[in-house]
Amino acid sequence: MNQSAAHKWLGGKRLSNPRLSDLEPLFEKRLAANFTLLDQLFQELYPGRENDFSSLLERLASLFRARPRELQLQDLQRLGAGNWYQEGKWVGMQLYVDRFSASLSGLEARLPYLEDLGINFLHLMPLTRRPKGPNDGGYAVNSYTEIDPRYGKTEDFLQLTERFREKGICLMLDFVVNHTSDEFSWAEKARQGDPKYQAYYYTYPDRTIPDLFEAHLPEIFPETAPGNFSYIPEMDRWVMTVFNTYQWDLNYSNPEVFLEMLGNLAALANQGVDVVRFDALAFLWKKIGTSSQNLPEAHKLIALFRLCLQVVAPGVIILAEAIVAPLEIVKYFGEGRLEGNECELAYNATLMACLWDAIATKKTSLLYKSLLSLPPKPPEGSWINYIRCHDDIGLGFDDNHIRQLGWDPGAHRRFLLDYYCQRLGWSPAKGAIFMFNPLTGDGRITGSAASLLGLEKALETGQADALDTAVRKIVLMHGIILASEGIPLIYAGDELAALNDYSYLKDADKADDSRWINRPYHDWKAVASLKKGKGPGAQVFGQIRSLIGLRRQLPVLGAAGKTHLHLTGNDHLLLFERRSETDGVMVIANFDAEVQVVNASWLARLGYLAEGGYHNLTDHSRGKVQSGLLEVPPYALMWLQLH
């Protein structure tokens, strides 16, 4: 379709807001550029709903009109810069505002700390209103735009986002796209018997259809929320609640739901959000006879959201929170006709899970198999690389890869649960199991990075060697994500080697959710003592801060550097290279407690040794190669620069 066709769909009406008069032509150009695919996807998802498509186009015009001029101009700058999110300067942190700084105004006061560390990309956990009781850490939403009073006022948030723009800080917020809380206005109206809003959710008068769904739906929280439907006595109906009973799944087969949620998405973007994290997006489309995850319709729906953003707010990008099977993750960048029209960012959950596997096994075999089997992402896509987050560590490895290594998939997962969840006396890890399913034997792992990597146990035993090993592991893991292709995301507290927080066990609303063990209050006393330079927290902070600074000095670690995995035959080592036409960095990581070696002549041929010596950028150490082999100390991280 051309521009005149798109203009016709708008009823021949030009935008009328004089404040944006000089930007009005951009709307029609963007609509014309995206019109054909937008039309196709809408008709495929909602056949015969031409009136709703006309409503969508009218809504796009009003949403464009509502976007603040400052953000409109930022959109233009980002479009001119290309894939701005792929610049190597971005280093992120994920945090809970109430646990990091008490409030939004408190966060503004803590910005110097983040700047000193080198953080300029922030993922703030949900800030909007939520139920007072259990609310899944804010992922049960009562509003998509109203700030919860515990954090401050909407004015505080708008002031903070303005401050972020002044300082060049990129802001990511969640868009809980799959469900609302049972206190959301739509749910309240549905509970009161309004058929319009009952159709906003999956509600049924009896168990006939729910049982057909249940035959193929997995249980997400089998311990605390078994099943996928809840009976609501007030309306005498069953409602789909895939996650928790107080989280009602939205029915996107109803086009009115999409239109309403598009408005909520644009309102969020218009508050100054740069990256929108689509929460649980793999679950967006439900279909009887399937697991209702990763369905083709879900991908079309995500692309529909993205195309609409490209029209009204093209400077805002989407992150896929798709913690799914490795081969499914890449699809959320978009493939086929949807390539470049789904999400610009995705969590590199495969790398994360496989790094934890390598720590437990001291072998990188599964890590290599998993990474080498991933199809390439499109060039405009980028990863978010992380070690820990607010959530659990899932074990979603490919069973075939585990079998190819000669391991039994079930037994291997049980070993990982035992290793990290205090079921093996010799393991240094102190974690907790999350959502163990006795019927399948499946479970997930939670705990802080430092405790999972042995620091808590080492402090309890007072063993100096164990303490040093734990610090080495923490730096090793973070050094890998800081050198990997994409945006590194550090979980708040990990830079201080924060330990497990067991206080959640005293809170009735949290005691049955072991993920709270890794949601500590930020230790500002520890921050105040950093200058003394003593203790594991100070060691970890200093080394991570140094690595962040080093990353910014090496342009090859940004978008220009392509990643090459190198197999050496030593399954205790991970070697990958970031290489551009003019520069390169070789990353070497030893996951074993013993010294490992790399063939020096091979490294020399690639250009990473000079005159028989090496320079490890991560600790500024220099040394000579002995007997033609580069020795890599236990749990050591090396970044070697191309000569």
Active site residues: 279, 321
Maximum pairwise Cα distance, the chain:
80
Query: Torsions phi, psi of 614, nearest 5?
Result: -135, 160
Helices and strands (DSSP H and E) totals, the chain: 24, 23
Any idea how long the chain is? 643
The token pair that represents 239 in the structure block: 């409602």
Q: Which residues share a beta bridge with 275?
A: 172, 317
Structure-token pair, residue 189: 């109206």
Residue ranges in 313-408 assigned as alpha helix (H): 326-329, 349-361, 365-373, 399-404
Determine the Cα angle at 67 with ends 384 and 259, to 5°: 75
* 3-class DSSP assignment, residue 29: helix
Strand pairing partners for 371? none
DSSP 8-state code for residue 532 = G
Tell me the C-alpha distance between 98 and 344, whole Å: 29
Contacts of 453 (CB under 8 A, 6+ apart): 359, 428, 429, 470, 473, 474, 477
Q: Which residues, at least 6 apart from 137, have a Cβ–Cβ distance to it below 8 Å? A: 96, 125, 126, 390, 515, 519
The C-alpha atoms of residue 265 and residue 258 are separated, in whole angstroms, by 10
Our CA dihedral for 515, 517, 519, 525, rounded to 10 degrees, sits at -170
Q: What are the residues facing 598 on neighbouring strands?
A: 630
What are the phi and psi torsion angles at 610 (to 5°)? -135, 125
Contact 287, 295 (CB under 8 A): yes
Angle at 416 (CA atoms; ends 371, 428), nearest 5 degrees:
110
DSSP-derived secondary structure letter, 74: H
Label each residue of 440-471 as H, E or C: CCEEEEECCHHHHCCHHHHHHHCCHHHHHHHH
Q: State the CB neighbour count (10 A cutoff) for residue 208.
A: 9
**The token pair that represents 216 in the structure block:** 């193929």
CB atoms within 10 A of CB 162: 12
